[in-house]
Structure 1
Amino acid sequence: MKQSRAFANGQIEATSAARVGLMQIVNPTRKNAITAAMWRAIPEAVHWLHVEAQVRVILLRGAGAKDFSAGADISEFTELRKDAATARVYEASNSRAFAAIREAPVPVIAAISGICYGGGFGLAAAADLRIATEDAVFAVPAARLGLAYPADAVQDFVRGLGSQMARRALFTGASLTAKELHACGFLSEITSADALEAQTLTLAEAIAQNAPLSLRASKLAIRAVELSDEDMLREAEILGAQTFDSDDYAEGRAAFAERRRPVFTGK
């Protein structure tokens, strides 16, 4: 059953169908720039998709099939990011949005086309998997605006881009091509603009067919390794051990023996 919910006056849209969640950034007249209200809405949308709609994977994209996101809406900076005090409040909402993507219990796939700048680039960096069109362009223009990028989000750039490419992106503010980011491992695939939607949906559906408990344990283990977090690694080990007593493990074994596709329930 398809479910939908709008956040931030419709500028963040969440939809679920067949265990696949879709979250759209909807501000196409401004190249899907993200307003303060939209930043605040992103954690709400992730929560709704995972907890209420019970999706097993989230697909993140910009509306309009042209641009992923130009990043934070600079037109708001005069009031909402005018000094250190206001910037701290503003960036706290940024950080919560990045964390919602990064820490979502289910895998998040970013489908990237056109412009992917600043905060939009940050959201993509926080995702688990990234597929982009051949003409996608990436940049972190913070240094050209005279401000610093949120430190917690820089970690996502370093993990996704690698140390050298992250430095290049942050120090120069220059644009990077999809080809360059595929070469450094930030992108798992590059595709044509016409094929992006179908290709990312195919990947999302393949993930959604797998056991939710297994996906959650794997995502947590990967994050633990990336962060060198021993406590998180132990938590991932506990989750992994729990899968052996799950109904899904019994279903997986039965389906394998019967040569059929398993039907997982997340229990």
Structure 2
Amino acid sequence: MKQARIFGGGGIRAAGQNGIGALIFDNPTRKNAITKAMWRAVPDALDWLLEDGQIHCIVMTGGGQKDFSAGADISEFATERATAVQARMYEAENSAAFTALREVRIPVIASIRGACYGGAFGFAAAADLRIADDTAVFSIPAARLGLAYPADAVADLQRGLGSQMARHMLFTGAALPAKELLACGFLSQVVVPSALEGAAFSLAQTIAANAPLSVSAAKLALRASESEDENLLTEAAVLGAATFESADYLEGRTAFLEKRPPVFKGE
């Protein structure tokens, strides 16, 4: 078990238990708005969760019981994003956080309730799987603020939402309910509020019980396919081939023949 640890001045909380990590935007008095310190902290929090190899799936959510996150903390913009130079630096830190989440080697599940706006929507789009409750509302207000959304995050949105819905949300800044994002395939499931935490962690438990090398190989192959990156595709093929010689492959075959649940160790 990994003891809980805070990052980004307390705005990011991470913890792990029984193979499942939690990454929490923990600023509930401001609808879990993401401060500059929190943006910077996301890669470090992810590194900490993965450092001992015991975490096999991450659930990302918001602190409190109301919101995933209202996105970047606009109250900081007058000091942290006032000039073009500052804005470019701020966006670079946004992109670094999205990249860290997108490229983490294990699956990430976004568990979403209430507000999921702007940069928080970007985090949800960078996740592998997304579950929401029926209070969730999604919006990308960049066009209403006179800003451009980071290009790498736009690519995630297009993959998750589809071309037409991504355009609709980016061009209009409209707020849409969870049922509409379920319909376009951005969400895999919408549940009642009382069932959200259980649904997210049940999915995480299922993933964490599977062979870690197999799941990581699958995630890398999906990334390679989506990005059409030949180097990633080669890396994914190498990682996939390594599973054939793994102890987990032997354990999987043996458990199947013995009619028992396998116990995988990621080796």
TM-score by length of 2: 0.98
5+ residue gaps, structure 2, are none
Deviation at 1:53, TM superposition (A): 6.1
Match of 1:229 in 2: 229
**Cα pair distance change 1:248/1:223, threshold 3 Å:** same
Match of 2:73 in 1: 73
Matched residue SS, 1:131: strand
Match of 2:6 in 1: 6
In structure 1, distance between residues paired with 2:203 and 2:134: 18
Match of 1:186 in 2: 186
Q: What RMSD in Å do the two structures reach over aligned CA positions?
A: 0.9
**Cα pair distance change 1:41/1:53, threshold 3 Å:** farther
Deviation at 1:2, TM superposition (A): 4.3
Tell me whether 84-93 or 44-53 shows the greater mean CA deviation: 44-53
* Counterpart AA for 2:16: S
Matched residue SS, 2:148: coil
In structure 2, distance between residues paired with 1:46 and 1:176: 29
Match of 1:138 in 2: 138
In structure 1, distance between residues paired with 2:3 and 2:104: 19
Match of 1:161 in 2: 161
Matched residue SS, 2:131: strand
In structure 2, distance between residues paired with 1:53 and 1:229: 26
Query: Residue 63 in 1 paired to residue 69 in 2?
Result: no
Match of 1:27 in 2: 27
1:73-100, Cα deviation, whole Å (9 max, x unpaired): 0000011111210011111111111011
The count of residues paired between Structure 1 and Structure 2 equals 267
Q: Which runs of 4+ in 1 moved over 2 A?
A: none
In structure 1, distance between residues paired with 2:193 and 2:101: 24
Query: Residue 214 in 1 paired to residue 222 in 2?
Result: no
* Counterpart AA for 1:179: K
* Counterpart AA for 1:117: Y
Deviation at 1:54, TM superposition (A): 2.7
Q: Is the Cα–Cα contact under 8 Å of residues 2 and 18 in structure 1 kept in the other structure?
A: no
Matched residue SS, 2:41: helix
Deviation at 1:229, TM superposition (A): 1.4
In structure 2, distance between residues paired with 1:234 and 1:76: 42
In structure 1, distance between residues paired with 2:241 and 2:261: 23
Deviation at 1:119, TM superposition (A): 0.4
Match of 1:84 in 2: 84
1:152-203, Cα deviation, whole Å (9 max, x unpaired): 1111100000000000000000101111100110000000110000110000
Q: Is the Cα–Cα contact under 8 Å of residues 16 and 53 in structure 1 kept in the other structure?
A: no
5+ residue gaps, structure 1, are none
1:99-158, Cα deviation, whole Å (9 max, x unpaired): 111001000000000000000000000000000011210000000001111111111100
1:6-28, Cα deviation, whole Å (9 max, x unpaired): 11122101000001000110000
* Counterpart AA for 1:78: A
Matched residue SS, 1:9: helix
